Structure 1
C-alpha cells in the first residue's frame, strides 16, 4: 500500500512540474559583451539541478576518498582485535586440553592484538609453566605485571598457584600477602593460603584456616577433619620435650578429637615422650568410657602415671567387661611388671597369648623370663616373637 501511495505521489508531482513548465514563459538573459544569451527559465533550472547533482556527487566521492584510509585502518584494527579474541579463546581451549605448546603460541598471538592483553600474558605464563619453561614463564609474568591496573588480583593468584605447584611456599606467601594487603580475602585465596601454610609447617595457622573454610562451606566436614587432626598432631610433635607447650596444645584440642581413637593412638605417644603420662592416662580413660578400642587399651599399659594402683584398678575393672580382650590383658601385664608383680604379669601375658598370638606378648614374656633367669624360656619366646615378626 505504501509503495502504491509513493507511485501516485510521484506521478502527481511529475504532472505538476510539466504543467508549471508549460505555462512558465519566463526566460533568463545573459549579457557578456559583445555576446547575449537568452535561455528558457525551465532549461536554466534543469541545468542548475544537473550541475548541483554532479557537484554533490563529486564532493561525496572526494570525501569518501579522503576518509577511506582511516576506515581501512579501523577495519584492520577491528579485524586484528577479533583475531586476537579468537586466539585467546583457542589458547584457553588448548590449555584445558593439555596442549600447552599450542596454548602458548595462541596466547602470545592474542597478546599482540588485544587492547587489554593482561589475561593473555597470564595464560602464556601458565602454559610455559606447564612445559617447565621457567624462563619464559617469568618473562610473561613480568608482561602481566605491566597491566596490573586491570589484572593485579588475577596475576597475584596465578603467581601463588604456580609457586605452590613448585613448592616455593615463601614466594606463594608473598603473593598472597599482596592480596591481603588490598583486602582480598575470598575463599579461593584462603584455599591457597591453607596449602601454603601446610607447606611452611605453620600448623596453628593451618587449623585456623581449615576451620574458617569449613565455616563458610568451602570444606566439608570430611575434608576438614584430617586437616585439623594433622595440624594438632604436628603441634604436639613440635612441642614434644616442652611440657608446658605440650599442655597448651593439648588444651586447644576439642573434646570430640580427644575421644577419637585414631587421634589418640598417634597423640598419646607424644604425651608419653614428654613425660606427661597423666594427660595420656586421662585421655585414654575418657575415650574408653565412650567407645571401647583394644589398641587404646594396649597403649594404656605404656602410660606410667604416678598413681600405679589407680591404673591397675581401672584396667582390672575394664577386664570384667572385656575378659577376652588380648590387648587389655597385655596392658595389665605391663602394669604388673611396673608394680613388680611378676607372677600376675606372667599370667596376664600368657592369657593374652591364649586369646591372640602377638609378638609384643612374647617379647614381654621373654624379658620377664630373663629377669627371672629362665634362659630357655626366654629363648623360646624370642624365637616365637621372631616368627610372628617375620
Structure 2
C-alpha cells in the first residue's frame, strides 16, 4: 500500500514539473527525413500519439468482437449449427413417419456438421436397415464408432439387430451374448436375444433364459407369461426321440422335462395335451389321466376330452363312470359323446358305444363318427346298418 502511494505521489510531481516546463517555454518536436520534415509542438505530438493509440485500441476491440464469441464469426457458427440441427430434426421426423429413404439421406447429409453426429449415424443406420440396404447401414455404424468411440456398445447392439434382420442368427447370438455379459439388464439386448432364440427354435436356450428375463423384468407380465407358455409347449412338442435308446430312457427324459415345467404351467390345457401325447407315444398315459380328468373338471377343454377318449386305459370303466357324470351338464356335446363311445369300446361295451356314437351323429355328423359307428354295428352283427354308415361316411368325406 505504501509503495503504491509513493509511486502515485512521484507521478504527480513529475507531471507537475513537465507541465511547468511546457508553460514557461514553447517546446517543438521535429521529425525529418532526407526530403520531408515535420515540426509540431509537443502538445500536438502528444495529442496525435494518444489519438493513434486510441484508434489502434478501437480497431483491436472491433476485430475482437467480430472474431470473438459474440461477433459475426460466432453468429455464422451458430447459424450453421442451427441449420444442421434443423436438418437432424427433419431427418428424425422422417424416421418417425416411416419415410426411410428421406430419413437416411437427410441424417447422413447433416451428420458431419451435426452437434450430435452419433444420433445422425444411429438413426440413419436404422433407416438404411428398413430399406434393406445393409451395406449402407454397416457403413453408418463404422462412422458412428469414429465420431464417438464410447458408442461401441450401441453400435454392436445395432449390428446384432441388422444380423437378425439378415437371418444371420448365429452371428447375432454371439454378439448379443457378449453384450449380455457386460449389460445383463439391458432390455434391448435381452429382447433381441429372445427373438433370435424364438426364430431359430432354440427352446432349451430360451428356457434357460426365462429366470433371467423374469428377474430383470425384460418383458411385461402378460408377454412373459405367453413366452413362458410357448417355450414349454415347444419343448414338449419338439421332444427328441432317439431310436437307439430304450423306451424306459425316453420315459425318464419325459418325466425330467415335466418336472422342469413350473407348477402353474403344468395345469395349462395345452401343456397337459402335449405331455399326454408324449406319454401316449410311449404307452404310459395312466400317469397323467388323473391330471387330465382334474383339469377337465376345472376348465372344460375339448382337446383333453378327445385325448381321454382316444387313449387305451387299463381300467376304462372307472374313467367311463367319471366321464358319464359330465353328461348331466353337457348332454348335447358331440365331443363328449364321441369320447364316451370310445371309452365304451375300450371297455367292450359295444351297445353303449352304439348309443353314444348315434347321439353324437344326430348333433354333428363327421366321416370319422360314421366310420366308428359302422365298425361297432359290424361287431354286433348289424351288417346292413354298418354298410349304410360306411357309405354315408364316404359320401361326407368327398
Do structure 1's residue 190 and structure 2's residue 190 form an aligned pair? yes
- 1:363 maps to which residue? 371
Q: SS at the partner of 1:231?
A: helix
Q: Could you tell me whether the CA contact under 8 Å between 2:269 and 2:295 is conserved in 1?
A: yes
Residues 1:250 and 2:248 are matched in the alignment: no
The corresponding residue for 1:5 is none
Q: For residue 175 of structure 2, what is the aligned residue in structure 1?
A: 175
Task: Write out aligned runs for 1:54-203 (5 A).
Answer: 54-58=52-56, 61=59, 79-114=79-114, 117-147=117-147, 149-203=149-203
Normalised to the residue count of structure 1, the TM-score between the two structures is 0.76
Q: Structure 2 vs 1, CA of residues 309 and 267 (structure 1 numbering), >3 Å: closer, same or farther?
A: same
* In 2: Cα distance, 1:318 partner to 1:170 partner: 51
Deviations 1:156-206 (CA, angstroms, capped at 9, x unpaired): 232233333343322332332232232352223222222122112122443
Query: How far off its partner does 1:117 sit?
Result: 2.8
C-alpha distance in 1 between matches for 2:86 and 2:66: 27
* 2:49 alignment partner, one of 36, 48, 51: 51
* Deviation digits for residues 310-343 of structure 1 (CA, Å, limit 9, x no counterpart): 4334334545665554333322221232333333
| Distance in 1 between residues matched to 2:275 and 2:392, nearest whole Å | 30
Change in Cα spacing, 1:303 to 1:44, as seen in structure 2 (3 Å) is same
Structure 2 residue aligned with 1:381, among 386, 389, 396? 389
Q: Which residue of 2 aligns with 1:350?
A: 358
* 1:229 and 2:237 correspond: no
Conserved in 2, the CA contact under 8 Å of 1:240 and 1:270?
no
Structure 1 distance, partners of 2:201, 2:211, is 17
CA contact (8 A) 2:237 2:274 kept: no
For the Cα contact (< 8 Å) 1:160–1:171, is it kept in 2?
Answer: yes
Which has the higher mean CA deviation after the structures are superposed, 262-271 or 338-347?
262-271
CA distance in 2, matches of 1:59, 1:165: 65
SS of 2:311's partner is coil
CA distance in 1, matches of 2:240, 2:356: 32
User: Deviations for 1:87-129, whole angstroms, at most 9, x for unmatched residues?
Assistant: 2222111122222222222122222224763332222222222
CA distance 1:149–1:335, change in 2 (3 Å):
same
Q: How many residue pairs are counted as aligned between the two chains?
A: 363
Whole-angstrom distance in 2 between the partners of 1:300 and 1:122 = 56
Unpaired runs of 5+ residues, structure 2, are 1-18, 31-37, 242-249
Measured in 2, the distance between the counterparts of 1:88 and 1:179 equals 29
Deviation at 1:288, TM superposition (A): 2.1
Evaluate the alpha carbon distance shift between residue 176 and residue 77 of structure 1 in structure 2; reply closer, same or farther with a 3 A threshold. farther
Find the aligned partners of 2:392 and 2:172 in 1 and give their Cα distance: 54
CA contact (8 A) 2:313 2:346 kept: no
Structure 1 pair 343/30, CA: closer, same or farther in 2 (3 Å)? same
Aligned twin of 1:285: 293
SS in 1 for 2:238: helix
What is the CA-CA distance between 1:300 and the residue it aligns to? 0.7
2:306 counterpart of 1:298: yes
Q: CA deviation at 1:134?
A: 2.4
8 A Cα contact 2:338 2:357, kept in partner: yes
Cα 1:29–1:146 shift into 2, 3 Å: closer
Counterpart contact for 1:240–1:273, Cα < 8 Å: no
